[in-house]
Amino acid sequence: MDIRLEGLTKTFTGKDKVETIAVNDLTVTIPGGHLVGLLGPSGCGKSTTLFMLAGLHEPTRGRIWFGDEDVTDLPPEKRGIGLVFQNYALYPHMTVYDNIAFPLRNSRSFREKHKDGKERHEAIDQIVQQTAKIVAIEELLARKPSQLSGGQQQRVAIARAIAKQPRVLLLDEPLSNLDARLRIQTREEIRRIQQATGITTVFVTHDQEEAMSITDEIIVMKDGVVQQVDHPQETYIHPANVFVARFLGNPPINMIDASVKDGQVMINGCPAIAADLPDGQYKVGIRPESFILSDDGFTADILTKATIGRDFQVRFDMNGRYSEALIESDKSIEEGDKVHFRLRRSGVHIFDLDEKRIAQW
Ligand SMILES: Nc1ncnc2c1ncn2[C@@H]1O[C@H](COP(=O)(O)OP(=O)(O)OP(=O)(O)O)[C@@H](O)[C@H]1O
Ligand SMILES: [Mg+2]
């Protein structure tokens, strides 16, 4: 079941009558069965979008479709959604088992479907056991939340959300309370669980690496406005604009103002790479991994060098701006060296002065 957002807009009006457009004319289709990342910096409208999907915020304008059904005016409990937030919000006095079973016991439709008490009890038990297995917490069902690690608590929260067999799973920064190692482990778990259940899932995060690593598609937002909807790799390889190029990648892309002259991008007064573009000024983004040490090319004075895993990260001046390159550590390069760089074309992105990607590049 696809989810379709059409012109979705949310405006908040503060006490001082000042309006904030949290989400601005968002139109996008989220394909059924996919894991889609909603990515962008703090305040860009991710949670507001998710809350509108959940029915917790009423849109100012626009419609929300779950398949052929317009759910815009449906209350949350009629939408068939599972929600997981950053703070897991488990019931502290209940066991893991009861935490997962609670929404089922309280669901009117579930009670109507299983009228007989004993039969309902058995149906719930079966679902709790199945769900616990999917999220790999079978051994923890008798514990209280306080006796679990953060990652385990988060898996219980996911189990509780999927026990009702929702049509859509909505996750708002579900990993931000976890330490680095557990974050990576739990995000892989979320991917596995999503694939095991096939539930259409929207995963909100401001962490580009997290979004890149587990999603089928990414929606990149800035100031309430969608910037790009694409496969994760595509947003990195073909960023739609300067914002997306800067937001994705670590260390970040180097962005410089450069001119094209006689079919060459000029860097530090030297031709750096061929570009079949009219002469003029452009914004040029160069990924740190796309500098190649060479006998010719433009010159750079190496200012600092640090070892990052298998690479050297070096800093130098490029067109008057400090820039960073990642160089394989089998190369000899030292602080104070004057070197020559060529550029790997795949890591070079050219934008017009309106910051839009130039497609023919
Ligand atoms: N209830 C509210 N009343 C007024 N303004 C709000 C309300 N909720 C959100 N906003 C504003 O709407 C904008 C988007 O907020 P939102 O919570 O959707 O951002 P976000 O992308 O989830 O950010 P974060 O990564 O920090 O969670 C922000 O400018 C925020 O201040
Ligand atoms: Mg948020």
Looking at ligand 1, which residue's alpha carbon is closest to its atom 19?
43
Closest CA to 219 of 230, 206, 203: 230
Q: What is the DSSP string of 238-288?
A: S-SBHHHHHHSSSSPPEEEEEEEETTEEEETTEEEEE--S-SEEEEEEE-G
pTM to 2 decimals?
0.91
Closest CA to 227 of 325, 351, 347, 321: 351
Largest Cα span, the chain: 82
Residue type, 354: D
Domain boundaries, the chain: 3-247, 254-351
Would you give the end-to-end CA distance of the chain in angstroms? 36
Q: What is the spatial distance between Cα 259 and Cα 179, in angstroms, rounded to a whole number? A: 44
CATH topology for 254-351 is OB fold (Dihydrolipoamide Acetyltransferase, E2P) (2.40.50)
CATH topology for 3-247 is Rossmann fold (3.40.50)
Looking at ligand 1, which residue's alpha carbon is closest to its atom 6?
12
Residue type, 329: S
**Digit-coded pLDDT (tens) for 32-87:** 999 999 999 999 999 999 999 999 999 999 999 999 999 999 999 899 999 998 87
Looking at ligand 1, which residue's alpha carbon is closest to its atom 5?
12
Q: What is the mean pLDDT of the chain?
A: 93
Q: Ligand 2 mean position to 14 CA, how many Å?
A: 18
Ligand 1 atom showing the smallest separation from residue 41 Cα: 25
Q: How confident is the model at residue 88, as a pLDDT?
A: 66
**Most ligand 1 atoms within 8 A of CB, residue of 8, 44, 175 to mutate:** 44
Helix (H, G, I), strand (E, B) or coil at 145: helix
Q: What is the spatial distance between Cα 145 and Cα 125, in angstroms, rounded to a whole number? A: 19
**Digit-coded pLDDT (tens) for 94-133:** 999 999 999 999 888 889 999 999 999 999 999 999 999 8
Q: What is the spatial distance between Cα 19 and Cα 16, in angstroms, rounded to a whole number? A: 9
